[in-house]
Amino acid sequence: MGNKIPGPPPPSGERVARCKELFMLTNENIEALWEVFKQFDLKREGLISRQAFFEGIIQEERNEFGNAIFTLVDPEDEETLEFGEFVQAVCTFCCFCVTDMLKFCFMVYDKDRSGLMEIEELHHFIKVLHSSNVTNNIQGAMSHLQLDEHGRLPFDSFKIMNKNFPQVLYPVFRLQQSTQRAILGNKWWKNKVNELGFWRENREHMEEMERIKETKRKERQRNAQIRKGTIPIRSFDV
């Protein structure tokens, strides 16, 4: 993104601190994100416009789905981003795996959170993604959708659609790749996702081992109490 621009250090705050912990970011990572951000903070107010994010940083057309990225962070303003919001939105979106991304897409257009997407909502989503230029291939994919008895699309069918017809949601993943490429680079994000995945799997494994260990400890304690006669054993009349 060019040479470093002199100026104040990156702002600290609750959002930034939370992102450092959640995404295992170093001070150097925060500095790198700040370098990207401040190149588009033209008034030096600690804010960038959403339009600058799309046109200047990731160089993608701004649309309804792109705007939805920022619903992930509950921003204070609909047209600007402060640094903490920028970090949280970018890290969350760039670290989505395929399943996370599909859940996010579905959530955005499942307006009533019913777990079912109305077919009209899906068609609108597809038009947004493809700038209303829906090709015959995309239309063909729509004819193979597995809808429920009321003509609505369950999430499992949405996943099957992506597996069988990846071109339908290709713009979603292109947007993620463009964001990764423009901010720290695709390789950096790939390594980060792998790091987080390994850490979470290892943490879950350790937590499971601790649960098993605690269960066995309680069993040993109970058995010892039974042997000592400190816990009455319930008897049943035959």
pLDDT tens figures, 48-57:
999 999 999 9
Please report how many Cα atoms fall inside a 13 Å half-sphere around the Cα of residue 229, on the Cβ side: 0
User: Which of 50, 69, 95 represents a domain boundary (last residue)?
Assistant: 95
Boundary-marking domain end, from 56, 73, 95: 95
Q: Is 18 in the same domain as 91?
A: yes
Residue 5 has pLDDT above 60, yes or no: no
Q: And the tokens for 236?
A: 């049943």
Cβ neighbourhood burial of 181 (10 Å; 0-12, 13-18, 19+): middle
Domain closes at, from 138, 159, 174? 174
pLDDT classification of 221: cutoffs 50, 70, 90: confident
What confidence score (pLDDT) does residue 205 get? 42
Domain CATH for 61? 1.10.238.10
* Same domain (yes/no): 104, 91: no
Is residue 148 a part of any domain in this protein?
yes
pLDDT in tens, 160-195: 999 999 999 999 999 999 999 999 999 999 999 999
Same domain flag for 64 and 109: no
> In which band, very low, low, confident or very high, does the pLDDT at 208 lie, cut at 50, 70 and 90?
low
90 and 21 together in one domain: yes
pLDDT on residue 140: 85
Same domain, 23 and 87: yes
Count of domains observed in the chain: 2
Look at residue 204 and tell me whether its pLDDT is greater than 70: no
Q: How far, in whole angstroms, is CA 130 from its chain's centroid?
A: 22
pLDDT value at residue 139: 84
Q: Considering all CA atoms of the chain, what is the largest pairwise distance in Å, rounded to the nearest integer?
A: 87
Judge whether 147 lies within some domain: yes
Assign 59 a pLDDT band (cuts: 50, 70, 90). very high
Please, which residues have CB within 8 angstroms of residue 177's CB and are 6 or more apart in sequence?
186
- Tell me how far apart the alpha carbons of residues 199 and 43 are, in angstroms, rounded to a whole number: 39
The verdict on residue 87 lying in a domain is yes
Domain assignment of residue 157, yes or no: yes
**Residue recorded with tokens 């054993």:** 233
Residues 86 and 109 in one domain: no
Domain housing 102: 98-174
Instruction: Answer yes or no: do 40 and 82 share one domain.
Output: yes
Nearest to 40 by CA among 1, 92, 91: 1
Residue 231 has pLDDT above 80, yes or no: no
Does 235 fall in a domain? no
Q: Is 217 among the domain residues?
A: no
* Mean pLDDT, residues 83-93 taken together: 96
